[in-house]
């Protein structure tokens, strides 16, 4: 790695991130069915129709997984709690589920790691999905009740709490592009989900504040999306992409507004009275989480319906997700967030990482492309700090190879390799390199 810990401010945190459905194994501990189970079971949605029933069996192996974080010298662990585990039908508490997160929290703290909790990383209980999921306003109230239940159990031990992971994925990717559960391609459902997921954020903020929780924020995903050429139509298309992907959520959460060009596209599909929710959605947060993976150059495409745009052919090196490697984009986003939206409020890089087809050979995994990727992105965060952004930490996505949503177990993002037959964990070379860098 091209950096060492001492290049960063003293309180800068290094960590790794995971999400409940992607690692735990949802067949254990009385967790209820989620919309991902149904989505995965429908042919054509997920590679080999794989789901999170077993995943990494983190439900039983969490002590070993937390030891890996500790042994790497990390400071913090970003994990999520599963709504469907805590409330299998979305509304009734499962004591076994709460007990699991109680034990997990103790185990994180015992190892001297700071727990960074995310309340929603996508496992919507099926009972609520069946009633319209995020297109149904009622879901936001039930999300508030879940927030209360899990906060009563572990809230006072968390170093930080995030409400929603990546509202763009929850809404646009899942209801317009159809690539994630529930797999809709419907502009009306999209407009409603894009508002209701932000209302769920606001509702959770209200519940967390009522319980005195201090370190509360949201985790948003951003992509660097410049126009692919100088034509006015191209510039307009890139602006619209930026408004849908990068601006909708951060402007709602920090300013209480939505970009007008997206509202124009949605027309009367927005739920009635949405304006009245904006004050609750924009209540003050304590920190912002930035997930960053890639850039896409944008082109207009008048042959397709609104928003009539597409990504240009890639021109840079790509990861095995086909995503362009562009560390400069992380620096730009961090500086832009500080400058335009959050000022001095702490920003964390809550996810950054890449997929590669890693293999164990002679008991080791050699992943030089990932080593360079991580090093370059951590350096990009450093450059953003040098330019004045208040970036307080970096979480690698992910600790473990895991259930990569529509890609099943085929794409490996981990710093630790998981053999999905034996479930054996093998730290990759990038894990050892990060460990060495943060020890210095």
Report the binding-site residues.
22, 121, 165, 293, 397, 404-405
Question: For strand 309-311 and strand 298-300, is the pairing parallel, antiparallel, or unpaired?
Answer: antiparallel
Binding residue (CB under 6 A) for ligand GBH from 1, 13, 19, 159: 19
Question: For strand 391-397 and strand 114-120, is the pairing parallel, antiparallel, or unpaired?
Answer: unpaired
Which segments are annotated as binding site for substrate? Answer: 22, 121, 165, 293, 397, 404-405
Based on CB atoms, which residue is closest to ligand GBH, 277 or 404? 404
Based on CB atoms, which residue is closest to ligand GBH, 153 or 331? 331
Smallest separation, CB 370 to ligand GBH (Å): 13
Q: Report how far residue 351's alpha carbon sits from residue 293's, in angstroms, rounded to the nearest whole number.
A: 8
Per-residue x/- mask for ligand GBH, residues 230 to 269, rule CB under 6 A?
----------------------------------------
Smallest separation, CB 19 to ligand GBH (Å): 5
Per-residue x/- mask for ligand GBH, residues 57 to 86, rule CB under 6 A?
------------------------------
| Per-residue burial over 241-278, b = 16 or more CB atoms within 10 Å of its CB, e = otherwise | bbbbbbbbbbbbbbebebbeebbebbeebbbeebeebb
Binding of residue 221 to ligand GBH (CB under 6 A): yes
Strand partners, 324: 318
Q: Report how far residue 120's alpha carbon sits from residue 139's, in angstroms, rounded to the nearest whole number.
A: 12
Three-state DSSP at 89 gives: coil
Binding residue (CB under 6 A) for ligand GBH from 323, 408, 410, 429: 323
Binding of residue 40 to ligand GBH (CB under 6 A): no
CB 377 within 8 A of CB 316: no
Smallest separation, CB 350 to ligand GBH (Å): 9
Based on CB atoms, which residue is closest to ligand GBH, 153 or 370? 370
Q: Report how far residue 8's alpha carbon sits from residue 346's, in angstroms, rounded to the nearest whole number.
A: 15
Which residues, 365 to 404, sit near ligand GBH by CB under 6 A?
397, 404
Three-class HEC string of 269-302: HCCCCHHHHHHHHCCCCCEEEEEEEEECCEEECC
Residue 277, both tokens:
């929710």
Which residues, 411 to 440, sit near ligand GBH by CB under 6 A?
413
Which residues, 271 to 300, sit near ligand GBH by CB under 6 A?
291, 293-294
Q: With contacts defined by CB under 6 A, name the span among 165-173, 194-202, 251-259, 420-428 that binds ligand GBH.
A: 165-173
Smallest separation, CB 76 to ligand GBH (Å): 17
Size of the site for ligand GBH (CB under 6 A): 15
Smallest separation, CB 411 to ligand GBH (Å): 7
CB 297 within 8 A of CB 231: no
Binding of residue 166 to ligand GBH (CB under 6 A): yes
Smallest separation, CB 245 to ligand GBH (Å): 9
28-to-49, 52, 81, 118 alpha-carbon distances in Å: 20, 11, 14, 20
- Residues with a catalytic annotation lie at 166, 351
Q: Report how far residue 428's alpha carbon sits from residue 72's, in angstroms, rounded to the nearest whole number.
A: 12
Which residues, 332 to 351, sit near ligand GBH by CB under 6 A?
351
First to last CA, the chain: 11
Residue partners of 275: CB distance under 8 A and separation at least 6:
none
Binding of residue 165 to ligand GBH (CB under 6 A): yes
* Segment (H or E) for 436: helix 429-439
CB 93 within 8 A of CB 31: no
Per-residue x/- mask for ligand GBH, residues 168 to 197, rule CB under 6 A?
-x----------------------------
CB 59 within 8 A of CB 30: no
Smallest separation, CB 348 to ligand GBH (Å): 14
Residues that bind ligand GBH (CB under 6 A): 19, 22, 165-166, 169, 221, 291, 293-294, 311, 323, 351, 397, 404, 413
């Amino acid at each position: 790695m091209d950096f060492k810990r001492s290049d960063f401010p003293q309180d800068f945190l290094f960590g790794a991130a995971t999400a409940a459905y992607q690692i735990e194994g949802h067949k254990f501990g009385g967790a209820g069915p989620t919309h991902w189970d149904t989505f995965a079971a429908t042919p054509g949605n997920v590679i080999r129709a794989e789901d999170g029933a077993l995943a990494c069996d983190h439900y039983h192996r969490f002590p070993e997984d937390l030891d890996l974080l500790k042994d790497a010298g990390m400071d913090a662990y970003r994990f999520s709690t599963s709504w469907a585990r805590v409330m299998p039908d979305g509304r009734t508490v499962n004591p076994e589920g709460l007990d699991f997160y109680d034990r997990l929290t103790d185990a994180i703290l015992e190892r001297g790691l700071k727990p960074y909790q995310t309340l929603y990383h996508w496992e919507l209980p099926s009972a609520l999905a069946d009633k319209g999921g995020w297109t149904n306003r009622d879901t936001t109230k039930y999300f508030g009740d879940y927030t209360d239940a899990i906060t009563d159990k572990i809230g006072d031990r968390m170093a930080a709490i995030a409400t929603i992971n990546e509202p763009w994925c929850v809404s646009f990717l899942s209801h317009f592009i159809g690539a994630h559960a529930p797999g809709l391609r419907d502009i009306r459902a999209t407009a409603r989900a894009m508002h209701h997921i932000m209302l769920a954020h606001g509702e959770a903020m209200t519940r967390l504040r009522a319980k005195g929780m201090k370190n509360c924020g949201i985790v948003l995903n951003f992509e660097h999306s410049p126009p692919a050429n100088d034509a006015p139509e191209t510039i307009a298309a890139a602006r619209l992409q930026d408004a849908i992907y990068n601006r909708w959520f951060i402007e709602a959460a920090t300013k209480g507004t939505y970009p007008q060009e997206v509202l124009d596209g949605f027309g009367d599909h927005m739920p009635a009275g949405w304006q009245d929710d904006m004050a609750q959605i924009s209540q003050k947060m304590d920190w912002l989480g930035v997930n960053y993976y890639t850039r896409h150059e944008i082109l207009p495409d008048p042959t397709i319906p609104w928003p009539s745009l597409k990504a240009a052919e890639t021109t840079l090196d790509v990861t095995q997700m086909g995503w362009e490697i562009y560390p400069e984009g992380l620096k730009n986003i961090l500086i832009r967030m500080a400058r335009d939206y959050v000022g001095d409020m702490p920003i964390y890089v809550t996810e950054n990482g890449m997929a590669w087809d890693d293999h164990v050979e002679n008991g080791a995994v050699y992943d030089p492309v990932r080593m360079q990727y991580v090093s370059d992105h951590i350096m990009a965060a450093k450059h953003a700090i040098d330019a004045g952004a208040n970036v307080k930490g970096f979480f690698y996505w992910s600790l473990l190879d895991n259930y990569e949503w529509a890609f099943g177990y085929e794409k490996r993002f981990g710093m630790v390799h998981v053999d999905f037959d034996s479930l054996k964990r093998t730290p990759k070379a990038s894990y050892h390199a990060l460990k060495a860098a943060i020890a210095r």
